[in-house]
């Protein structure tokens, strides 16, 4: 019987279903831990138990350090879109609609998503590796010995800073991206003048779109900061676990912002 059981456990089918089972269990365990910690974070925020100094420090790190790469990614994406769309729109007689189209695409989706990806790649991974290093070097244990709650000290300032700074970064990057797209459109298609592009943006973009962008980007920031901090906090062992926690935070953050974006699309544009 044991011999049969041994051969079964060595089959590819068994190994495949074992991997799937482990992934499902890990998903629910991770999601449960994140949910419990987020409720604790909300408790500290709602009761005003946070340090403004720490929030400002994290805000500086979150916004200033990530701004160059964010502007580069969003601007290049807008330029690539303008290069492909502007000539085709002119051929179809839609030169007066190019600015509005680029503005809507950038504000509703592209600017927010690309900013989120840039923040995950640079800031989210940094948060996860920083907290994971603190965890494996027992700095988190030292905080507990000093009667300092790690969730309050490590999570709350980062999440509040992300919620406040993410809309600012998204607004700046989207604005720059729209103007870059307009500049390239005017170069590739002489029919698209600066005045024509600006008027098209004014006609195509509404305050509702801007408000949704700000709210969605704030939710993105909260998700990225919380997931990155939580994945780093779960690190155990040595240097290898720091890399695993960082990778896990990036994957979970990408999935989270896509899901959040889908929810916003259903709520406001369906």
pLDDT tens-digit readout, 166-177: 999 999 999 999
Round the average pLDDT of the chain to a whole number and report it: 87
What's the pLDDT at 3? 65
What's the pLDDT at 42? 92
What's the pLDDT at 6? 59
CA 164-220-28 angle, to 5 degrees, is 130
Per residue in 192-229, pLDDT tens? 787 888 888 888 888 899 999 999 999 999 999 999 99
Tell me if 111 sits within 8 A of 166, measured CB to CB.
no
What's the pLDDT at 158? 93
SS3 state at 238: coil
The yes-or-no verdict on residue 267 having pLDDT over 80 is yes
Sequence-distant (6+) residues with CB within 8 A of 151 are 37, 40, 41, 44
SS3 state at 141: helix
Q: Using the CB atoms, write b or e for 215-234: b if 16+ within 10 Å.
A: ebbbbbbbbbbbbbbbbbbb
C-alpha 18/C-alpha 28 separation (Å) is 16
Q: Using the CB atoms, write b or e for 135-172: b if 16+ within 10 Å.
A: bbeeebeebeeeeeebbbbbbbbbbbbbbbbbbbbbbb
The yes-or-no verdict on residue 1 having pLDDT over 70 is no
| Segments forming the whole domain that contains residue 63 | 2-269
Q: Residue 25 burial (CB < 10 Å; 0-12/13-18/19+)?
A: exposed
pTM for the whole structure = 0.88
Q: Which of 103, 100, 104, 122 is nearest to 176 (CA)?
A: 103
Q: Mean of the pLDDT values across residues 116-124?
A: 91
Per residue in 144-154, pLDDT tens? 888 888 899 99
| C-alpha distance from residue 140 to each of 30, 146, 175, 254 (Å) | 19, 10, 40, 26
More confident residue, 33 or 18: 33
Q: Using the CB atoms, write b or e for 34-43: b if 16+ within 10 Å.
A: beebbeebee
Other CB atoms within a 10 A radius of the CB of residue 66 amount to 23
Sequence-distant (6+) residues with CB within 8 A of 179 are none
What's the pLDDT at 85? 84
- Give the total number of structural domains in the chain: 1
Per residue in 27-78, pLDDT tens? 888 888 899 999 999 999 998 888 888 888 888 888 887 888 899 999 998 8
Max mean pLDDT among 49-58, 76-85, 237-246, 254-263 falls in: 254-263
The DSSP output letter for 95 is: G
Tell me if 89 sits within 8 A of 98, measured CB to CB.
yes
By residue count, the chain amounts to 270
The yes-or-no verdict on residue 19 having pLDDT over 90 is no
């Amino acid at each position: 019987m044991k011999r049969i059981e041994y051969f079964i456990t060595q089959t590819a089918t068994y190994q495949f279903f074992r991997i799937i089972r482990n992934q499902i269990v890990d998903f629910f365990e991770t999601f449960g831990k994140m949910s419990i910690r987020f409720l604790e974070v909300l408790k500290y925020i709602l009761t005003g138990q946070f340090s403004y100094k720490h929030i400002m420090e994290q805000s500086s790190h979150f916004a200033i350090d990530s701004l160059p790469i964010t502007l580069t990614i969003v601007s290049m994406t807008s330029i690539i879109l303008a290069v492909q769309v502007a000539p085709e729109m002119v051929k179809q007689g839609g030169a007066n609609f190019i600015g509005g189209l680029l503005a809507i695409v950038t504000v509703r989706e592209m600017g927010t998503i690309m900013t989120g990806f840039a923040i995950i790649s640079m800031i989210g991974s940094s948060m996860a590796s920083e907290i994971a290093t603190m965890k494996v070097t027992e700095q988190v244990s030292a905080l507990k010995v000093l009667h300092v709650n790690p969730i309050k000290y490590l999570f709350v300032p980062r999440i509040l800073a992300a919620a406040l700074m993410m809309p600012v970064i998204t607004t700046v990057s989207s604005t720059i991206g729209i103007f870059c797209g307009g500049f390239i459109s005017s170069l590739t298609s002489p029919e698209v003048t600066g005045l024509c592009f600006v008027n098209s943006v004014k006609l195509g973009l509404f305050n509702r779109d801007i408000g949704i962008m700000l709210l969605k980007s704030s939710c993105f920031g909260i998700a990225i900061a919380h997931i990155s901090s939580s994945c780093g906090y779960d690190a155990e062992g040595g240097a290898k676990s720091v890399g695993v926690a960082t990778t896990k935070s990036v994957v979970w953050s990408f999935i989270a912002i896509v899901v959040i974006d889908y929810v916003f699309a259903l709520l406001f544009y369906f």
